[in-house]
Amino acid sequence: MKKLDWYIVKQFLSAFVFIVILLVAIIVVVDLTEKNGDFIKRHASTHAIIFEYVLNYAPYLASLMSPITVFIASVFVTAQLASRTEIIAMLSSGMSFKRFIRPYFIGACTIGVGIFYLVGWIIPNANKTRVEFERKYLKDSFSFTNRNVHIKVAQDVYAYLESYNNANDVGSRFTLERIEGTKLVSKLKSSQITWLADKKKWQLEASNIHTFNGQVEKISTLGRMDTTLNLIPKDFQSQYNEQQRYTLNELQNKIDELKVRGADDIPIYQIEFYQRFTAPFAVIILTCMGVILSARKSRGGVGLQIAFGFVLAFVYILFFMLSTGIAQKGGIPPIVAVWLPNIIFSGIAVLLYNTVPR
């Protein structure tokens, strides 16, 4: 890269870091002020607030706002160059607009790679502590209240619980059915199922098993017995922001597990998974859009262009939230919902690029 490239990249990355720090600091202060009453009520220590919540919440916010911050940074730097007629001088010297945008692209790729690594592995590990803190100090005690729970625990094997008490890890009226095709092969019935934490097994009370061979049914009494199942007490605990706690590899394993079980909340985890791949592309797309929109010298000054940048970035986020909300309800496939904003804004960026004076 030439000196001019280094100059623009340095300005762009410096503006990005400054805006991230500024916005994160403001949001954290407002958030702490809003939640101070809960911290006092639940006796959260200052050490826990700072080291378990704030220090883990800040990087999460930084990654979450990266589309806005990178867009604002590109608009701010480019608008400053345009206001000082530096862009006109560059283009007049024979530099193409494509060549002018190259250092921004390099800077955006650098940020994108960093964001991908953060959201893939670093931030999920930080979220494990943050989410646990929120469950303890900001959320009410969770009670599993679902009735008549059906869970697929293995291929052709289905578990049923009439109710489950997550306070003592006891379920009532448990059955385990094996179905091959459309035929019921066996059915294990138990009046109560209890988790044995020391053995990491389930204890079944007053159990018996029904086996079917055509029209012939055989019943065997098993009484009390211990067994292992693809089922743990965690499956009945609070799922608040659970998807944010998984690294990219763990998230893929979780999705595979939920598919085997035939769970209903798979889209939530799929959206989180695909979003981590689209985040770097969003950074690149919005950077290019920011440069294109602010490359002209505006009579309204830099402030007007930055304000317009804010609006457009928030439109992107709003569009993303709407599409993912529809995907969570099953309206559209999660991969389409996550990539759709990037595809549409890429098209807008191309249209805007064709309007820039060369």
Pick the more confident residue, 280 or 330.
280
Residue 75 has pLDDT above 90, yes or no: no
Task: Give Dmax over CA atoms of the chain in angstroms.
Answer: 91
Residue 134 has pLDDT above 60, yes or no: yes
Pick the more confident residue, 261 or 233.
233
Number of domains in the chain: 2
Residues shown for the chain: 358
Let me know: does 139 contact 240? Beta carbons within 8 Å: yes
Q: What is the pLDDT of residues 178-198, one digit of tens each?
A: 999 889 999 999 999 999 999
Q: From 236, 251, 274, give the residue that closes a domain.
A: 236
Residue 277 has pLDDT above 60, yes or no: yes
Residue 16 has pLDDT above 60, yes or no: yes
221 lies in the same domain as 295: no
Number of Cβ within a 10 Å radius of residue 61: 17
77 lies in the same domain as 112: yes
| pTM > 0.95 | no
Residue 281 has pLDDT above 60, yes or no: yes
Task: Of 41-50, 150-159, 309-318, 341-350, give the range with the top mean pLDDT.
Answer: 41-50
Structure confidence at residue 89 as a pLDDT band (50, 70, 90): confident
Plot region of 85 (φ>0 → left; ψ -120 to 50 → alpha; else → beta): left
Task: Of 52-61, 87-96, 251-260, give the range with the top mean pLDDT.
Answer: 52-61
Range of the domain at 121: 3-139+265-353
202 lies in the same domain as 312: no
Under DSSP, is residue 162 helix (H, G, I), strand (E, B) or coil? strand
**What are the two backbone dihedrals, phi and then psi, of residue 239, each rounded to the nearest 5 degrees?**
-105, 20
Let me know: does 209 contact 219? Beta carbons within 8 Å: yes
Q: What is the pLDDT of residues 18-35, one digit of tens each?
A: 999 999 999 999 999 999
Using only the alpha carbons of the chain, give its radius of gyration. Answer: 27
Residue 252 within a domain: no
Residue 64 within a domain: yes
**DSSP for 17-71, written as a single string:** HHHHHHHHHHHHHHHHHHHHHHHHHTT--HHHIIIIIIHHHHHHHHHHTHHHHHH
CA 176, distance to chain mean position in Å, is: 33
59 lies in the same domain as 183: no
**What pLDDT shows up at residue 309?**
65
Residue 250 within a domain: no
**What pLDDT shows up at residue 199?**
93
* Cα angle, residue 338 at apex, residues 336 and 341 outer, rounded to 5°: 95
Share of the chain above pLDDT 90, in %: 63
Task: Of 4-13, 212-221, 305-314, give the range with the top mean pLDDT.
Answer: 4-13
Number of Cβ within a 10 Å radius of residue 337: 23
Residue 246 within a domain: no
Pick the more confident residue, 24 or 314.
24
To the nearest whole number, what is the mean pLDDT of the chain? 90
Structure confidence at residue 297 as a pLDDT band (50, 70, 90): low
222 lies in the same domain as 292: no
Q: From 221, 236, 251, give the residue that closes a domain.
A: 236
**What pLDDT shows up at residue 301?**
62
Cα–Cα distance for residue pair 44/64, rounded to 1 Å: 26
Under DSSP, is residue 160 helix (H, G, I), strand (E, B) or coil? strand
